Amino acid sequence: MGGADGMRKGYHDLLRRENLELILLTAKSLLDLGCGAGNLGKALKLKQSCLVHGIELSRDAVKIAEKNLDRVWCDNLNRFDPLFLKQKYDTLIFADILEHLINPWDVLKKFCRVLADNGSVIVSLPNVAHPWIIKNLQKDLFRYEPAGILDITHLRFFTQTSIFQMFYSAGLKITNFRPYPSKENPIQYHITATRAISKHKDPQTTILILTHNGWEYTNQCLESIKKNTSSSHKILVVDNGSTDGTIEHLRKDKTLYHIENYHNLGFAAGFNTGLMLVDTPYFVLCNSDVIVTRNWLSRLRHNIDSDKNLLILGPRSNYVSGPQQINNVPYTTSCALEAFAQIQYDTTAIPISYFPRIVFFCVLLKSIALKTVGFLDEIFGMGNYEDDDYCLRSLKAGYKNAFDNSVFVHHHGSVSFKKKPEEYRALLEGNKKKFMAKWNLTNYGGPNG
């Protein structure tokens, strides 16, 4: 393996048949990272015609692997430079190895340099959020063991969410994610990933979309972004435990990245799992029930850059509280929506209206906000008032907030909350109390500032 040498007897001999079945029959050149004695590669070569190379730290294991594989390097994955290999592979295999490394995020990312354009990455990782682990943590127990999830040689620990975050950071799109041996007993996750198909080589904006069921609306949102966004960007969808087929659709779409949270984390915590990964100068927070219009992002980008102190900029819409709303919109079709949005752009004399509170149903921010203001406050649970809170924090940090009169987007509005109006009102009232208590306010104007 890539961790300490001289690991327990038999550890290097594992075949890992569950990983073998994930490898495509069309795979011709494979690199097995932490290959052990090379039994996985040996079985693969018996199954199909292919070239299999391996990297392994244990000298004893390498002696055996040299008989099973086409070539083996005895080295430490923590320090190995993959460019030394001077070739690319259509399949990279990380079978039960990343958790043993000092910096698995860096190792995964750097080995992607030798992944062919249409290549696949096969990974198996233990799940530290297994019910048994959680039950023991509640008893204040975290006991290392000779093998299993809490293997004493494990240096890093992962959950479903953090696995998706690591793959995104490596520029990889997860296309298959399987709990093993079952959903009820998820000891491991088996992952297949490939590179996302990026429209822009150097994206300047990360568009984050939060989803929880409602694929019909999410699909409309995604299609409108793909159609109407010329400004350089990448899309990161954060799913909050959807059960309606949304996840299956997201896995199939290689033009975007996505994160699958096991639970519905709510607005702030859900978005924060994506905000932790933002590596572009700008980012957008967008509800999944929004339909953007032509050139919306380039116009927002242009106007937010007109003022160096402007941090938060939102569009106008048909369904939004406060002065961002345009009442009695005339459109009933997508073509009429585009025409209305264009008229709004053409007839706007004053593009920017500064205002203390911008609604985060769709909003553009400069990424410096994450360093100077921070992430969304998760005390607001499922949602509401995290945008009020963030805007107030922005103002107190010396920045400005505004809405853009020249940009109009359609918002279906509170699709999830409409199904349970009483729960929504209770949530709204409860979060207002939390907000006012946090800021020691006796009165708050809400949507009107």
At residue 132, the pLDDT reads 96
Angle at 411 between CA 377 and CA 420, to 5 degrees: 65
Whole-number Å distance between alpha carbons of 351 and 319: 19
d(CA 42, CA 67): 9
pLDDT band at 316 (very low <50, low <70, confident <90, very high): very high
Residue 167 CB-density burial (10 A; 0-12 exposed, 13-18 middle, 19+ buried): buried
Distant-in-sequence, close-in-space partners of 292: CB < 8 Å, separation ≥ 6: 221, 224, 225, 228, 229, 286, 362, 409
Give residue 363's pLDDT band: very low, low, confident or very high (50, 70, 90): very high
pLDDT at position 8: 42
Q: What is the pLDDT of residue 413?
A: 87
What gap in Å lies between CA 192 and CA 184, rounded to an integer? 20
Cα dihedral 352, 354, 358, 361 in deg (nearest 10): 0
Question: Are residues 400 and 307 in contact, defined by beta-carbon separation less than 8 angstroms?
Answer: yes
Q: Each residue of 141-197: pLDDT tens digit? A: 999 999 999 999 999 999 999 999 999 999 999 999 999 999 999 999 999 999 999
Do residues 101 and 2 lie in contact, with contact meaning Cβ atoms separated by under 8 Å?
yes
Across 171-298, where does the E strand assignment appear?
A: 172-181, 186-195, 205-211, 233-240, 257-261, 282-287, 290-291
Residue 426, φ and ψ in degrees, nearest 5? -65, -40
Q: What is the mean pLDDT of residues 97-117?
A: 97
- Matching residue, tokens 């459109």: 331
Q: Which of 14-23, 31-40, 176-185, 421-430 has the lowest mean pLDDT?
A: 14-23
| Percentage with pLDDT > 90 across the chain | 89
Residue 447's pLDDT band (cuts 50, 70, 90):
low
What the chain holds in terms of domains, given with CATH numbers, is 11-195 (3.40.50.150), 205-448 (3.90.550.10)
Which tokens in the block code for residue 437? 């208590």
Q: For residues 396 and 312, what is the distance between their CA atoms, to the nearest angstrom?
A: 13
Cα separation, 176 vs 25, whole angstroms: 16
Q: How far apart are CA 261 and CA 240, in angstroms?
A: 5
Q: How confident is the model at residue 7 (pLDDT cuts 50, 70, 90)?
A: very low
Q: Which helix (H) or strand (E) holds 297?
A: helix 296-304
pLDDT digits (tens, 9 = 90+) for 28-87: 999 999 999 999 999 999 999 999 999 999 999 999 999 999 999 999 999 999 999 999
Q: What is the pLDDT of residue 15?
A: 60
Residue 305: its pLDDT value, please? 98
pTM for the predicted model, two decimal places: 0.94
Tens-place pLDDT, residues 275-294 = 999 999 999 999 999 999 99
pLDDT band at 11 (very low <50, low <70, confident <90, very high): low
Query: How is the beta sheet containing 29-33 ordered, strand by strand?
Result: 71-74, 51-56, 29-33, 89-95, 115-126, 186-195, 172-181
Can you list the alpha helix ranges (DSSP code H) found in 77-206? 104-111, 131-137, 160-169
Question: Across the chain, what does the average pLDDT equal?
Answer: 94
CA 9, distance to chain mean position in Å, is 38
Asked if residue 17 has pLDDT above 90, the reply is no
DSSP 446: G
Mean pLDDT of 241-265: 97
